[in-house]
Each structure stands twice: as C-alpha cells, then as structure tokens.
Amino acid sequence: MDDEFLENPKADYTPWRPDHANYPDGKGALYDQVRKAPLRDYGTDRQTLTAMYHSREFADLEWQRLWKTTWLIVGHVNDVPRENCFMKVDLGKESFLIVRGEGEELRGMYNVCQHRGTRLVTQDFGSTRKFVCPFHQWEFANDGRLTQVAKQETFRKAALCHDLDLPKIRVESWRGWIFINLDLEAAPLLDWIPEDFRSLFDAYDLEKMVRVVDKTQEWDINWKAAVEAFIEGYHVEAVHPQLNPYFDSYHNQHDLYDNGFARSIFPFMIPMPTRKAYARTELSEEAKLFMREAGLGEDEFPATDSEARAKVLEGKRRNQGRIGMDYSRFTDEQLVDDWNVGIFPCCSWNLHPEGLLVQRWWPHAKDPGKMVYYYQVYAMPGMKEMPTYMGVPPGFDTSGRKVLARFSCEKGDLEPLGSVLSQDAVFLPRLQQGIESDGFRGAVYSEQEVRLRQMQDEIFKKLKIDPASWRPKD
C-alpha cells in the first residue's frame, strides 16, 4: 500500500492511518475478538462506472448474477418461533415464504400460486398449516405441496399432471440467523461465511435475540449507494453533528474478510477529535442515557462527559446481574463501542452485547434509483434498556411469546425513523441526484471508505465485469 498520505497542517490530533487498531495494547484471549485484520489494498483508481447506481441493464445483471446466486440474510429463527410459523420475504420483484417445520427445520418456497400466478400471502408473519390462494382457492401445505384443487372435475387429467407444487428455495441458518439462496445448487452457507469472520461473534448470544423493532420504508436512492453511506464514518461529522460530542467517527478500525464481509469499530463516549469544541465540559443528556442503561443512579453520575465512559464500564460490570447480562466474555471496549458489521451484499449490524440493530437495503422491484429500507432491532431476552440511538420504545417485549408485526412507514414520513436516520433519509436522495448527473465523473475514496471499495470489488466479481470498461447499452 502506498504510504504517501496528504498532510493536514491544521490537525492537532493523531492522523488516522489504514493500519489503525483501536486496542493495540489489549492483552489476553478476550482481545482476540478485536484484533486488527490484515490490510487489503483496493488501490486509488477513480470509480467511473456511475451507471451501476441507476442503469436498468446493470440492475438486471445484478438480479441474475448477484441476487439469485448469493446467500441473503432475511431474519432470525425467533421470527418463526414454533412449528407452522411463517414469514414473508419480499426481494425485488419476488416474494418468498419461510416456514418453520418440525424442530429446527426451515423450509423456503416462492410465494406464488401455480394456477395463475397470484401471490398467496400478503401478511409478513403468521402461522398456518396451509396456504390458500385467494383467487381460485387452490390449497398448498406449508411444505409447498399442492393438496387441493377447487372444482377439480373441471380440469382434464393431463392439465393437473404438471409439477404444481410451490418452487423451493434454499434456506439455511447460522447462529440463529436465517439466510436464503435462490440457487438450489449453491455451496453451503458456512462455506460462504468466512471462518475468521464467524469467530468474531463467539462471545455473543446471537441465537437468543428477539426482534423488538421492525420498520420499512421506500427511499429514493439505489440500494448500493445507500449501503455505502452506512458503512463509513467519514460523513458523520457533517450529516449527524449531534453525534460528534460522544462518537469518534475518525479513529475507527476497519477489518475486511473474504466474500465481502467486514467489521468496523467505532468508539462511543469519546468526542470527535477534529474540533476541541466537541469535547464538552458538562455532562450531556446523551451521557446520562448511557449511565441509565448501565444501571447507574443519578447520584452516581460524573460531573463531565470526559468521565462518562469509565463510569459506564464500571456500572455495567457491577450491575450485570440486574441488567440481565454476563459481561465476563467481553472486553471493556465491547461494552461501550459500536461494532458495525457488514454482511454482503446488503446488510449491516450495529452490534452490542445487549442486542443489535439490523439494517437491510433491498433493490426496488422496478426502479434502480429507489430501494426498500428495513430497520430492525433485536434484543437479548430480559433486557429493559437498549442503546439509545436504536430508538427502541419503552416497554418493549423480549419474551418472544408474540411475534412482532412489521410497521411500514409512509414514504417521506420521518417521525418513525428518529433523528439520525431522518438525516440520512433526507440527505441520500441528493446523493442519488448527483450520481445521475452527466457532470459527475466518478468517485474517489479515502482509506476510511475502504469498505466501499471492498463491496464494489465483490459485486464486480459476482457480475463478472470489468468496471473500467463495462458500460450499459441503455
């Protein structure tokens, strides 16, 4: 990697470099979870294939070579907690049904009647032994078998000799998380998720987590451009200024793994170093929220934000029984910092021991300049508080006795998104407009945006194209 970096004569802080490790002095086995992964160099070429963000031809190529051949994370086994429970998964122009069978069995099939093509199910979650087409009342068992044809005497025998069961898709799970693949010949899921990536999560009880927030909304931006905005911290200082006093989006660690998987570690309760004004002398309301999450009473609050991080760590260790967590498996830093985890091609986790925020950016069914955004929070059973930025309402239920319904936000309605996501929802359409301009010659990237390079490189490999020469005909 070329070590020739620009200088910033105004900087009075330690310059970030690609080999930055957040915890270089960490000792012991616990710190194996946060070790810096080896560097990967994606060069400095300009990304001139701007049509990838708006071309119909490119979107069609993605559908055939990416979406139909890649393992896609779609939910958690606790979303289908009992036999006969199902969830509907909409992806682009397609819709699928994931059904819980006996024990740990998961089944996957297309959500389309084989008579005339009607979508069988419109609800997101439910429980049933059979799916009945609302058009002509054909019935399918929840394993996809056609079991009844209404008024079958009106059909000639030969007409019903075709394969009329619901077409299957691949379904597998890892640590409680459900993945689908439309390619029935695809390699097993665990052959695709890198082992060194999987080992990062050994301390986390991923299997036990329960969905407590589920929202979806259409945004006017290509799915890739949206993902890229959420896997770098370079934009935070400008777009989310309210985070700067307690979120260091500059000194972060980026770890890259095979097949497009990644992790970034962002320090919480440490101010952005780029301006001294971000370091508050009083105790902020944000810090007080972190204190309450750690089980601290107001009489234990420190006087300033600079003392808050240590106080939260002390509180979580001391109050872990009351909080309902065993923190002995985690480093101190894992108790407060944000792990931004990338699951190729279109999912990110913001991971904490208490739970995680899941974001997915699905392709739009018809318009490559739009996408469907999913925002979900999963919490550990018994949790009463979650990291405040996740926007979890008070009194959330982690019992798992009732499957949470999905809330579809009206397009443009910012209130359900909270302050941080609302800023992204307002800003990102401006990015899409600029990308589509003839005056945009292509992107150049800082090394803090290396995950964008990694993601694009993986997409181009899946599509089998050279981005320097491929151009759409449309």
Identify the structural domains of the chain with CATH numbers, from first to last: 29-50+202-463 (3.90.380.10), 72-174 (2.102.10.10)
Is pLDDT above 80 for 367?
yes
Number of neighbouring beta carbons within 10 Å of residue 345: 23
Q: Predicted confidence band at 449 (pLDDT cuts at 50, 70, 90)?
A: very high
The two three-digit tokens of residue 395, written as one number: 């009194």
Please report the pLDDT score of residue 212 as a whole number: 97
Please report the pLDDT score of residue 389 as a whole number: 83
Is pLDDT above 70 for 53?
yes
pTM: 0.96
What integer is the mean pLDDT of 356-365?
Answer: 98
Q: What DSSP designation does 436 have? A: T
pLDDT tens column, 375-401: 999 999 999 888 878 889 989 999 999
Is pLDDT above 90 for 279?
no
Number of neighbouring beta carbons within 10 Å of residue 286: 20
Is pLDDT above 70 for 186?
yes
Q: What DSSP designation does 252 have? A: -
pLDDT tens column, 419-435: 999 999 999 999 999 99
Between CA 199 and CA 91, with CA 362 as vertex, the angle to 5 degrees is 105
Distance CA 331, CA 200 (A): 12
The proportion of the chain whose per-residue pLDDT surpasses 70, expressed as a percent, equals 99
pLDDT tens column, 94-115: 999 999 999 999 999 999 999 9
The two three-digit tokens of residue 361, written as one number: 């950016």
**In whole numbers, what is the pLDDT of the chain averaged over residues?**
95
Q: Predicted confidence band at 4 (pLDDT cuts at 50, 70, 90)?
A: confident
Is pLDDT above 80 for 474?
no
Strand-pair partners of 135 = none
Q: Predicted confidence band at 2 (pLDDT cuts at 50, 70, 90)?
A: low
Distance CA 452, CA 42 (A): 10
Please report the pLDDT score of residue 3 as a whole number: 67
Distance CA 60, CA 57 (A): 5
pLDDT tens column, 148-185: 999 999 999 999 999 999 999 999 999 999 999 999 99
Please report the pLDDT score of residue 391 as a whole number: 86
Number of neighbouring beta carbons within 10 Å of residue 168: 15
